[in-house]
Amino acid sequence: MVVMVRLQDTTQAKSRTRKVGAVVAAVASVTGMVFAAAPATAAAYPTSTFSIQVGASYYKGTVTWYNRSVGVTGAFKAVGCRRVYADTRIANSGRRLDWQSSSTWCDESGPATLAVNADVPGGATKVNVWMTTGNPNEGLEHFSCYRDFSTCFGPYVGLPQ
């Protein structure tokens, strides 16, 4: 004898499976996007701030201490002719590693960036930032910034030592 068994309508079961599968896929997709949107970030480099102001001229900005270089960025306004400088040093010996300067600016303003090398293990531990007249030997004001303290000291009159 042959018994015929009628199977239930599987269309409804397939539909539910598809819906559950779609929800699982959507959740996995959103979860993947959330994890992909949170990139790994490197630890921030230490910074120090300075503010040189001589009359109406100024250079105000930030020293960023990288591993083997230092970035000095700021807003520079020259009333008359002015120039800004930065040098990197080893603080305890005073050894100068490198220096950079802007061009001479006369009655102008804008962003001024100085990238200064410090190609020794551990990088620079001191940076001097200063402003001169158009003559590089006429130091007006300077700051001395230290990596260990993450701060700048000054302003001091004249050229840095």
In a structure prediction context, what are the per-residue pLDDT tens digits for the chain, which is 161 residues long? 554 545 455 555 455 555 545 544 444 444 444 344 444 445 699 999 999 999 999 999 999 999 999 999 999 999 999 999 999 999 999 999 999 999 999 999 999 999 999 999 989 999 999 999 989 999 999 999 999 999 999 999 999 98
pTM score:
0.73
Three-state secondary structure string covering 60-89: EEEEEECCCEEEEEEEEEEEEEEEEEEEEE
CA gap 11, 20 in Å, rounded: 14
Rg of the chain's alpha carbons, rounded to an integer? 31
CA gap 95, 88 in Å, rounded: 9
Inter-residue contact 107 to 79 (CB < 8 Å) = yes
Identify the residue whose tokens are 């559950």.
20
